[in-house]
Chain A
Amino acid sequence: MTLSPNEAADALRDMAAIETRSRRVYGYREASPHLILWGILWWAGYGLSEPWPHRALAIWIPIVVIGLAATFAISLSNARRRDAHVDRVADPKRRPEVARVRWGFLGMVLTAFAFIAATLAVMAPVTSRQVGAFIPLVVAASYAVVGLWQGLRFIVAGVVIAGLTLGGFFLLAPAHFALWMAGVGGGGLILAGCWFRGV
């Protein structure tokens, strides 16, 4: 039953490839509900901003708060599920997933807000249409970067979101940009979430 060095190397390579594939399938499945959630929120936020552009801030603040609360709840629920299946007796030093999610989420939200606020302050004055294009581009870039490690579908989602955002910004009449982002931006995220779920 002894293996040759070549057979051992092949086995290790195959095992690493399967671990990566499995990790990616898991990553897609975890990301799917978040994409669908934010797709619906984008659809609502941009859709309401179209008829009431001067109330965009009042529309978006509750939408972002709801989105962050729902994202946190989904992440926490997933972490609790993982914690419930870990044998604490076998690994008493392991830090609970719930604690990681709490601090990780807080750090991510603060970093994102700080980056977006600082960039908009540096670039000011900016129009609501520019803000409406900039934030999706940041999201798209984040997906593309995540995809470098987590799989091609994240990269495709990032490129499509960025392409649709830039297309709407530069090619459409300014009055129709919010409607465009509601339809293709929000709709694109929902479709991406369904695509991720189907892996």
Chain B
Amino acid sequence: MEQPDAVIHQPLRLKIMAALRGLPRGERLEFVRLRAVLNATEGNLGAHLGTLEKAGYIKVEKDFNGKKPRTRVSLTDAGRRAYADYVAYLRAILDGDGAAAASRRSRYAD
């Protein structure tokens, strides 16, 4: 069986990807809301967001909402594909069939 994507395999990074996958395509989630959804600490979440951003799986945008600084995160198309591949990998484990991953990949992508 093929090895999973090491970037997504880490539990909190997988949860970040799942939270962003729950949004409509093109939509962004504010850092504070993401932290609340995941019940994560600020420092831990920030570090893992950096890893995902370096991998090109998420996009982090910083701006100001009035006078308040704001950080928003969204899933990139590469991230969406990587997440779909990871889901296919997990389903293949459940099916006991590594070859099934490829066929499921495209179905989950959208």
A residues at B contact (CB < 8 Å): 1-5, 8-9, 11-12, 14-16, 18-23, 25-26, 29, 81-87, 90-91, 94, 97, 199
Q: Are A23 and B23 in contact (CB under 8 A)?
A: yes
Q: Do the beta carbons of B87 and A5 come within 8 Å of each other?
A: no
Least Cβ distance of B85 to chain A in Å?
13
- Seed contacts A25-B37, A26-B27, A81-B26; 17 additional CB < 8 Å A-B pairs: A1-B6, A2-B93, A4-B93, A5-B96, A8-B90, A11-B14, A14-B15, A14-B18, A15-B15, A18-B19, A21-B22, A22-B19, A22-B20, A22-B21, A84-B26, A85-B28, A97-B24
Contact B26 A9 (CB under 8 A): no
Could you say which of A19, A90, A94, A199 contacts B19, with CB atoms under 8 Å apart? Answer: A19
Residues of B within 8 A of A (CB): 1, 3-4, 6, 9, 14-15, 18-29, 33, 36-38, 74, 76-77, 87, 90-91, 93-94, 96
How far in angstroms is the closest Cβ of chain B from A136? 29
In the bound complex, do residue A1 and residue B38 qualify as a contact, i.e. CB atoms below 8 Å apart? Answer: no
> Do A12 and B22 touch (CB < 8 A)?
no
Choose from A5, A11, A86 the contact partner of B25 (Cβ within 8 Å): A86
Q: Give the distance to chain A from B101, nearest Cβ to Cβ, in Å.
A: 11
Distance (Å) between the CB of B1 and the closest chain A CB?
7
User: Can you spell out 11 A-B residue pairs with CB atoms less than 8 angstroms apart?
Assistant: A3-B4, A5-B94, A8-B91, A12-B87, A14-B18, A19-B18, A19-B22, A20-B22, A25-B33, A25-B36, A86-B25
The answer to whether A15 and B74 touch across the interface, beta carbons within 8 angstroms, is no
Chain A residues, CB < 8 A from B77: 87, 90-91
Residue of A nearest to B30 (CB): A29
A15-B18, A86-B25 known; A22+B90 contact, CB < 8 A: no
